[in-house]
Chain A
Amino acid sequence: MWISRKEVEELSRYLRGETDADIRDNKEGAFSILKNDAYSLVTGKEEQLKSLENQRDILSEYMADISHQLKTPITSMMIMTDLLENATPEKQAEFTRNIKFSLNKMEWLVGALLKMAKLDANSVEFLKKDVAVSQMIDDIMPSLAVLLDINDQTLELKNDCEITCDKRWMEEAITNIIKNAIEHSPKGSVITVDSGDNPLYKWISIEDKGSGLTRQSYAALFKRFEYSTNENGFGIGMPLALSIVKGQGGDIDVDFGGNGRGAVFTIKMFK
């Protein structure tokens, strides 16, 4: 194998960043392979820098979202407080209720968006431990009880399994998916939670008794603010759940259902 001094110096310059030209040459031989490896190394570094820039862009997008979404509740509250002064006692009670409602919404919204921003910018540290699905369901029941009761629905766990994840965050993701199931299931129905284990991943599934998803509703499902049939929702619950699961190295798979079957959301935690 003949390598000229010029070629070696060219490689040196490339590694020092003094030349932009693509160093690869697609010939046989160990030196060509070395050049290919050098290329992978340099582009790896460039990718890291790009990823940092990306994180900064993600955060500013979230900031724009927060200020945009807050405008409406804030305007509404301003109007309410203006009217409060000269209102009758019953009207005052109504306006105060409205203001409280808007404040709660804002609190939930800001909290959720901040969480998503941190998750998407990879600045959340997850505390992963082995935790049983049944344990997590028990812990989140209190926050779901009222909703289930209003709709006369029940939650059922089929199989239990231990999942390696951050308990607090995972509980939030599961809560959001179940809330979505509650919204889309008819009154009096059962929402089924199941879990299991296979060589690639451990999984938790949530099945509702709704009419399933269409391609359009699926496309909007994980996008912020696009998917909400409920006035109390913001269309943030599902995107947040996805960010939480993806941040821990998992994914959420969706079975559309349809033809009398409800949708099934499966959280898959890759091993």
Chain B
Amino acid sequence: MAVLEVKELTKEYGQGDSKVVALDHVSFCVERGEFVAIIGASGSGKSTLMNMIGGIDNPTSGDVIIEGRNISKMSEDELAIFRRRNLGMIYQFYNLVPTLTARENIILPWRLDGRKENKEKVTELLKVLGLTERAEHLPSQMSGGQQQRVSIGRALINDPAFILADEPTGNLDSKTSAEIIDLLKYTNEQFNQTILLITHDEKIALRADRIITIGDGKIIGDEVMKG
């Protein structure tokens, strides 16, 4: 079963003469363990696509099916909980809670679910992320790269169906960017974590195993680079 199935996804704004078609019947599948980059210029529709996949916005028509579950048919409350338990989101601007420490930010999804903390898992994750010394620090006490690592930790903590990363390196210098992509590749390799990375930067996209190119709301390329 594919981890993600996008079927005839369409998003239109406005009507008649002023109608804008942001996504035009986009369809593709992602299997478990794939590291896929979705690349497109500004205005290509890639952000719209990401919002549909992440369940943040509803399509005009078409379906987004995650692990067999059609999320286009869920209510907002259901969607919020589904996202918390099954998706890991990483953003360009980290979006950490400023009053929580690194460790607390990472286990936030567990706290919201009322789950009991698995201390070993957190310690191991902090080690992988290289954040053991920063675990009790606040976001304001960390560099951009470190904050993004906390984001990645938070995205991973619930063993999500896939990680959705929206320009995760957009706010970082090239050395730190390379380290963040290395970290994502590490999780892809070691945990068989499925990753969808949205970017406008071809260099970043070329580090993925498969590249889907979007232009004018349509898929104009879908190429496997490394089997």
Contacts and interface: CB of A to CB of B under 8 A. Distances in A.
Contacts of A43: 1, 67
Nearest to A29: B114
B201 interface: no
Interface in B173-223: 179, 182-183, 185-186, 189-190, 202, 206-207, 223
Contacts of B202: 215
Contacts, number: 62
B186 A201 contact: yes
Contact of A249 (B115, B189, B207): B189
B111 interface: no
B207 to A, nearest CB: 7
Nearest to B77: A26
A251 B68 contact: no
B206 A218 contact: yes
Given A28-B81, A30-B114, A43-B1, A219 B189 contact: no
A36 to B, nearest CB: 6
Given A26-B78, A26-B82, A270-B189, 20 more contacts: A22-B68, A22-B69, A26-B85, A27-B78, A28-B81, A33-B115, A43-B67, A200-B130, A200-B179, A201-B182, A201-B186, A218-B206, A218-B225, A222-B225, A223-B227, A242-B227, A249-B189, A250-B189, A253-B207, A256-B206
Interface of A: 22, 24, 26-28, 30, 33, 36, 40, 43, 46-47, 50, 199-201, 215, 218-219, 222-223, 239, 242, 246, 249-251, 253-254, 256, 268, 270
Contact of A199 (B130, B159, B185): B130
27 contacts: A26-B77, A27-B81, A28-B81, A28-B114, A33-B115, A43-B1, A43-B67, A46-B1, A47-B32, A50-B1, A199-B130, A200-B130, A200-B182, A201-B182, A215-B202, A218-B206, A218-B225, A219-B223, A222-B226, A223-B227, A242-B226, A249-B189, A251-B185, A256-B206, A268-B185, A270-B186, A270-B189
Contact of A26 (B81, B185, B186, B225): B81
A256 B74 CA distance: 44
B190 A270 contact: yes
Task: Label chain A's interface by main secondary structure.
Answer: mixed
Contacts of A249: 189-190
B227 A222 contact: yes
A33 B113 contact: yes
Interface residues of B, number: 31
A270 B32 CA distance: 20
B74 A26 contact: yes
A195 to B, nearest CB: 16
B40 to A, nearest CB: 16
A24 B79 CA distance: 12
Closest 3 CB pairs of A and B: A26-B78, A26-B81, A26-B82
Contacts of B206: 215, 218, 254, 256
A218 B206 CA distance: 9
Interface string B1-36: 100000000000000000000000000000010000
B226 A40 contact: no
Contacts of A199: 130
